[in-house]
């Protein structure tokens, strides 16, 4: 979501006569787009603001945008004298004027929510030449007790389906073939007429689109309509990122996730029954207040039961102003316990992913070549429909094209692939 917001800001500033530079050196304006989801995200921003000082001349404008700007507002101006702009997620429209003001020596905080704001008239300047992030919903109406997002991004609102389709058509015209639809609970999308199932069907049918993904859905919003669309629209990929957070119904209740362990597992079953070859990744929080050894064991057993393909794992971070702050202090899980649980969870997740991936060796996939592999050296990084990273041989001219490969090796998490003739490609196992 932040990358997508940065693309919108860059688009707006480009339209106002600014040009992007590759690094902070020599820039007239430096904007740091921030995340507030965990304390360490914010600490990194503070570190970055410090580092940026040495690139700043007397007239350089330094601004902080995004969720941390929204959360801290004018406090950021007080604590860092070099910062002259603090702009929250709903206030990017004013950026050019705010920057002009800052150049005249003023300092601003712009953090009002605007429930109508979708930046429809902005032309996103995309960083990625292969896939496009397309926000379809802003804000969040859930109130998970650990989460700062409802307070930094405001209430949930959906874009109009026609606007999303129009942006998808523009993306195709720019030569991109994959879109990722974005929202905090993206499958609760509703523009007043159309639900997320209808959106998937409409976007998936745009001529030239070959892959549709979305992130992140909430388990409670997987209506039959959404699952049917996912199963029936050929361009919608066979992967879902389905945040679980915990495998313990008691923990989930304290998190106010509004589903039980059983509900989550039932959602996984419905998805798998409808979509052959579906891979599932997730988010898990370790050490939420009151998480007992037994509750943590339930998370481990749910991880085994589902058999996730991968997981983002987080140590719980207390955020100011979230309902979790009202939980009794004695429920805090000691750091050493959190650390140990985190390591155990990580080992389990990695081990399961490795086993599943080993069993995939010899299978075939269609991959979209995304970029040069980190190792370079005639290697490219590609992605399968089921969200596996596959390293293939080739030259940079192949970026953005599709290739059929056989999975020949795995590190446990990523694959190497050897090109095969397209006609020989089998459907996904």
Whichever of 109 and 184 has its CB closer to ligand SF4, that residue is 184
Check binding of 153 to ligand SAH (CB under 6 A): no
Q: Which residues contact 335 (CB under 8 A, 6 or more apart)?
A: none
Whichever of 256 and 399 has its CB closer to ligand SAH, that residue is 256
182 vs 196: CA distance, rounded Å: 11
Whichever of 185 and 357 has its CB closer to ligand SF4, that residue is 185
Cis before 216 (ω within 30): yes
Residue-wise over 123-137: b if at least 16 C-beta within 10 A, else e? ebbbeeebbbbbbbb
120 vs 104: CA distance, rounded Å: 29
Answer for which of 317, 332, 401, 414 binds ligand SAH (CB under 6 A) is: 317
Check binding of 218 to ligand SAH (CB under 6 A): yes
Whichever of 188 and 279 has its CB closer to ligand SAH, that residue is 188
* Radius of gyration of the chain, Cα coordinates, nearest whole angstrom: 22
The overall longest dimension of the chain from CA atoms, in Å, is 65
By C-alpha distance, which of 174, 170, 239 is closest to 203? 170
Q: How far is the CB of 90 from ligand SAH (least distance, A)?
A: 17
Answer for which of 88, 135, 243, 290 binds ligand SAH (CB under 6 A) is: 243
Whichever of 123 and 223 has its CB closer to ligand SAH, that residue is 223
Q: How far is the CB of 49 from ligand SAH (least distance, A)?
A: 22
Question: Which three-class secondary structure state does DSSP give residue 203?
Answer: helix
383 vs 399: CA distance, rounded Å: 11
Answer for which of 147, 203, 338, 367 binds ligand SAH (CB under 6 A) is: 147
| Contacts (CB under 6 A) with ligand SAH, residues 285-314 | 285, 314
Residues that bind ligand SF4 (CB under 6 A): 140, 142-144, 147, 149-150, 184-185, 218
Q: How far is the CB of 223 from ligand SF4 (least distance, A)?
A: 16
Continuous segment of H or E residues that includes residue 285: strand 279-286
150 touches, from ligand SAH, ligand SF4, none (C-beta below 5 to 8 Å by class): ligand SF4
Answer for which of 146, 151, 189, 296 binds ligand SAH (CB under 6 A) is: 146
Which of the ranges 88-96, 142-150, 171-179, 384-392 carries the binding residues for ligand SAH, by CB under 6 A? Answer: 142-150
Cα torsion angle, 125, 130, 134, 139, sign: negative
Helix axes 2-15, 95-103, angle to 10 degrees: 70
212 vs 366: CA distance, rounded Å: 14
| Contacts (CB under 6 A) with ligand SAH, residues 31-50 | 37-38
- Residue 212 pairs in a beta bridge with 179, 236
By C-alpha distance, which of 409, 382, 384 is closest to 394? 382
Whichever of 216 and 251 has its CB closer to ligand SAH, that residue is 216
317 touches, from ligand SAH, ligand SF4, none (C-beta below 5 to 8 Å by class): ligand SAH
Whichever of 221 and 406 has its CB closer to ligand SAH, that residue is 221
Asked if 252 and 220 touch (Cβ cutoff 8 Å), the reply is: no
Check binding of 145 to ligand SAH (CB under 6 A): no
Check binding of 184 to ligand SAH (CB under 6 A): yes
Q: Tokens for 346? A: 């990580």
Whichever of 264 and 314 has its CB closer to ligand SAH, that residue is 314
Binding site for ligand SAH (CB under 6 A): 37-38, 146-147, 149, 184-185, 216, 218, 243, 245, 283, 285, 314, 316-317, 319
């Amino acid at each position: 979501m932040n990358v997508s917001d940065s693309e919108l800001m860059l688009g707006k500033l480009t339209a106002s006569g600014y040009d992007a530079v590759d690094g902070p050196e020599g820039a007239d304006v430096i904007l740091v787009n921030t995340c507030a989801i965990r304390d360490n995200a914010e600490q990194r921003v503070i570190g970055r603001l410090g580092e940026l000082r040495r690139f700043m001349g007397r007239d350089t404008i330094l601004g902080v945008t995004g969720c941390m700007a929204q959360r801290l507002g004018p406090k950021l101006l007080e604590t860092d004298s070099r910062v002259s702009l603090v702009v929250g997620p709903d206030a990017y429209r004013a950026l050019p004027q705010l920057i002009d003001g800052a150049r005249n020596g003023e300092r601003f905080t712009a953090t009002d929510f605007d429930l109508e704001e979708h930046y429809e008239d902005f032309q996103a300047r995309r960083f990625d030449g292969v896939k496009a992030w397309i926000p379809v919903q802003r804000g969040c109406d859930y109130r998970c007790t650990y989460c700062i997002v409802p307070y930094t991004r405001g209430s949930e609102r959906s874009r109009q389906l026609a606007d999303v389709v129009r942006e998808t058509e523009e993306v195709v015209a720019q030569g991109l073939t994959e879109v990722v639809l974005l929202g905090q609970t993206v499958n609760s999308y509703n523009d007043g007429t159309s639900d997320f199932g209808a959106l998937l069907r409409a976007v998936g049918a745009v001529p030239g689109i070959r892959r549709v993904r979305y992130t992140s859905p909430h388990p409670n919003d997987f209506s039959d309509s959404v699952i049917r669309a996912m199963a029936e629209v050929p361009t919608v990929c066979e992967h879902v990122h389905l945040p679980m957070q915990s495998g313990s119904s008691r923990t989930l209740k304290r998190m106010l996730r509004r589903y039980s362990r059983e509900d989550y597992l039932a959602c996984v079953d419905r998805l798998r029954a409808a979509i052959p070859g579906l891979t599932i990744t997730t988010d898990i929080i370790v050490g939420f207040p009151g998480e007992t050894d037994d509750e943590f064991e339930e998370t481990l057993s749910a991880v085994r039961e589902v058999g996730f393909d991968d997981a983002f794992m987080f140590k719980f971070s207390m955020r100011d102003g979230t309902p979790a702050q009202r939980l009794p202090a004695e429920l805090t899980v000691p750091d050493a316990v959190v650390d140990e649980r985190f390591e155990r969870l990580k080992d389990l997740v990695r081990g399961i992913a490795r086993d599943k991936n080993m069993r995939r060796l010899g299978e075939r996939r269609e991959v979209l070549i995304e970029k040069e592999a980190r190792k370079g050296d005639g290697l490219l990084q590609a992605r399968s429909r089921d969200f596996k990273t596959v390293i293939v041989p080739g030259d940079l001219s192949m970026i953005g094209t599709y290739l059929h490969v056989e999975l020949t090796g795995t590190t446990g998490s990523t694959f190497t692939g050897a090109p095969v003739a397209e006609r020989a490609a089998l459907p996904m196992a």
